[in-house]
Structure 1
Amino acid sequence: MFTSCQTAMWELFVLLLSCHVASPVMHSMKYVYTASTEVPNFPDFVAVVFVDGIQTEHYDSNTKRAVPTQVWMNQVTADDPEYWKRQTLYWEGQEQYGRVNIETLKERFNQTGGIHVIQVLNGCEWDDETGDVNGFGLISYEGEDILILDMKAQRWIATKPELLESQHKWNNDTGWLEFMEHRLTQECPVRLKNSLNYGKSYLQKIDRPLLSLLQKTPLSPVTCHATGFYPGKAVIFWSRDGEDLHEDVDRSQLLQNHDNTFQMSVDLDLSLVKPDDWPRYECVFQLSGVEDDIVIKLDPAVIKTNWGNVPTLLVTLSAVVTLAIVFIAVTGILVYKKKKGERLKLIAIVLPPVTCTVPVKDKI
């Protein structure tokens, strides 16, 4: 089980992965590392590589080795026997930069000891239809973006005044910007295409989702939940009379399951839907590579809940209330008669029990 600190770390780590979501014709490769201080039972440095949202490589400060996380990534050794050795050396270097940069940022933000986290994301996207390539870079500290790379303009943008010094430093280093452009728009796409080729049978598979309607309480929104689908290039929405709804709905982020499939959901506020209009609403799920939409209509008969069977519960509660009224009435009569001087035998009324189930160049 994760501690609260570890859970927070992974939440921050996953947050970065939601950036740069690929469009239906885009493939992506993302290099992500997290460096931290004083997080108990958690490596000081963790690095991963993702191809189309699937983790393909892992390195951390405990193991000190870059290793494949997918069987098909072992094929890279046949084409490049020194690949994993080079990756290990690369991540070892980034590990050192990560530690230095945390100390630098603590000074910039006037911080002392305790838990601090820096995250670096860079990579590329490749459109397999048009051939267009885009590189991206992002640095976050304590869960907030602090430096963003605009690859097309070849410049870094600081979001905090404390990082303006780094912005000016990097933007004035044309050699560094040219290196980043080469790495992200030329080297990265080649590695991406190679990885796509290695994992072709896996990455091009199509798994249809399990689509369900869920509701927590009678007053809660109805959630249309899709899970178990692959690839992660999908959209889910509510429609009324065939028209997409943009108001009174709340969409969740795309999340990855433990088996590398995905899940997502969209909520519909029922307080604004008249009971007679329910048949006009339906949840629509569209998956890349699947021509037909997957649709489920808004129908109370198919909604799954965790608040029990309302009619049965109401009947049970009504029975309890009725018995309570009878008990009170009988007790009142007995008290009244006793006051009148009548001798009464003690009457014990026992109610049956009722149960209700309710990559940075140098110092920042």
Structure 2
Amino acid sequence: MKIFLLLLLLGVNGAAGVTHSMKYFYTGSSQVPNFPEFVIVGLVDEVEFVHYDSNTQRFEPKQDWMKEAVDQQYWDTESEKSLGTQQTFKVNMDILKRRFNQTGGVHIFQEMYGCEWNDETGDVKGFRQEGYDGEDFISFDLNTQSWTAPTAEAVITKNKWDNNKGLNTQRMNYLTEICPQWLKKYLQAGRSSLMRTDRPSVSLLQKSSSSPVSCFATGFYPNKAVLFWRKDGDDLHDNVEEGQILPNPDGTFQKSSDLDLSSVRPEDWGKYECVFQLSGLNDDIITKLDQSGIRTNEKSTPLIAIIVAAVVILALIIAGVGFFIYKKRSDKRPPSPVSNPEVMEQLNPGP
């Protein structure tokens, strides 16, 4: 069971290797209180390494190894370009509102693009997709080098972008060639940080005596982990609610799994245990279900506050969106995530 779970979390079928990723998230928002109008977040293996928002108007490194990878001129130039992209996003938000017959209110336009690379098989996967108000808007099909429009409102944009064959070729080149190259360089530059393995602390939490018991693992790295409950050595699925892997402010991750014990007799609690498995660790971390080891809401308020804070941080990170197209540069400097002709190309079919 352990081998199967680890293979499953690594996304491989009996083959060795780990799948690494580089992703850029752009977010344009309208009338969202206490949230920047425009945000860019770049992630390598789910760790934020670059950031821009409309409040600071600065494109900045978020990891020490990234600060050393490029010079100050790069950050100054990208800050200027990001500001231009911010303005374009604002125009596109107005276009989308008209497309959907909307006026005011809260609206969010999002884009994610990037690539994945398996360090053993060499397999590469690129992706780019955009969404509006939580629904798919348009996505790029690498097999056909064309756009897929799931809604009628996106057909105008699909037709316009499909007709630009040269730009689509550039997109394909970036997602399948340039993106993996820079992903490998970033992994090497940040190797001591990105390729490390951190063991988590695992706790049992419970809000009240009638609430489910939550097995909470935090501080682990990388994010390729599984957390589950067992009874008498068998995996449990019933009465279990599994949480997502969420980022911590320090670059590590956390995950929880809740077990409903309302129908379990107290004398049977000893049959249950929480199991944590992490890529890079040979041993499982097993926590027996014991009443004396459970931290109640009153005793663990700071820890629960960390969980809440991490959910907020995750919402900020995954709220990314924007327009991107690769513009070739020398190997001495990463390709700009915002410097490209498409940044100035709006969603409407006009010139």
Q: Please report the TM-score for the alignment, with normalisation by the length of structure 1.
A: 0.73
Measure, in 2, the Cα distance between the counterparts of 1:148 and 1:233: 26
2:79 and 2:185 mapped to 1: Cα distance? 19
2:126 paired residue among 118, 121, 135: 135
Residue number in structure 2 paired with 1:290: 281
Q: How far did 1:104 drift?
A: 1.0
Over the matched positions of the two proteins, sequence identity in percent amounts to: 50
Q: Out of 23, 30, 36, which is 1:30 matched to?
A: 23
Measured in 2, the distance between the counterparts of 1:265 and 1:139 equals: 29
Q: CA deviation at 1:91?
A: 2.7
Residue 83 of structure 2 corresponds to residue 100 of structure 1: no
Corresponding residue number in structure 1 for 2:215:
224
Indicate yes or no: 2:184 matched with 1:193. yes
Over 3 Å counting, the alpha-carbon distance change for 1:148 and 1:281 in structure 2 is farther
Could you tell me which residue of structure 1 aligns to residue 331 of structure 2? Answer: none
Q: Report the alpha carbon displacement of residue 40 of structure 1 after superposing the two structures with TM.
A: 5.0
Residue 111 (structure 1) aligned with residue 102 (structure 2): yes
- TM-fit CA distance, 1:230: 1.3
Residue pair 1:139, 1:147 contacting (<8 A) in 2 also: yes
1:181 aligns with 172
Higher relative contact order by CA 8 Å / sep ≥ 6: 1 or 2?
Answer: 2
Counterpart code for 1:58: H
Residue in structure 2 matched with residue 154 of structure 1 by the alignment = 145
Shift of 1:171: 3.7
> How far, CA to CA, are the matches of 1:280 and 1:188 in structure 2?
48
Q: Which of the residues 238, 241, 245 maps onto 2:236?
A: 245
Name the counterpart of 1:314: none
Give the 3 Å change call, closer, same or farther, for CA 169–211 of structure 1 in structure 2: same
Q: Is contact 1:214-1:225 (8 Å) kept?
A: yes
**Whole-Å separation in 1 of the counterparts to 2:205 and 2:251:** 23
Displacement of 1:190 in angstroms is 1.2
In structure 1, C-alpha distance between the alignment counterparts of 2:19 and 2:225, rounded to whole Å: 12
Distance 1:238 1:149, change over 3 A: farther
Alignment coverage as a number of residue pairs: 292
SS in 2 for 1:270: coil
Deviation at 1:278, TM superposition (A): 2.4
Match of 1:164 in 2: 155
Name 1:91's counterpart in structure 2.
82
Q: Aligned ranges for residues 199-278 of structure 1 at < 5 Å? A: 199-278=190-269
Residue 45 of structure 2: which of 30, 45, 52 is its match? 52
Deviation of residue 301 (structure 1)?
Answer: 2.2
Shift of 1:287: 0.9
Shift of 1:41: 5.4
Larger-gyration structure (1/2): 1
- Measure the CA separation in 2 of the matches of 1:250 and 1:207: 25
Pair 1:147–1:22, CA change in 2 (3 A): farther
Gaps of 5+ in 2: 1-8, 12-16, 300-322, 325-341
The amino acid that maps onto 1:129 is E
Aligned to 1:67: 60
* CA spacing shift, 1:239–1:157, aligned 2, 3 Å: farther
Preserved CA contact (<8 Å) 1:226 1:263: yes
RMSD: 2.4
Q: CA deviation at 1:69?
A: 1.5
Is the 8 Å Cα contact of residues 223 and 267 (structure 1) preserved in structure 2? yes
TM superposition shift of 1:115: 3.2
Listed as ranges, the gaps of 5+ residues in structure 1 are: 1-20, 309-358
What amino acid is aligned across from residue 270 of structure 2 in structure 1?
Answer: P
CA distance 1:181–1:89, change in 2 (3 Å): farther
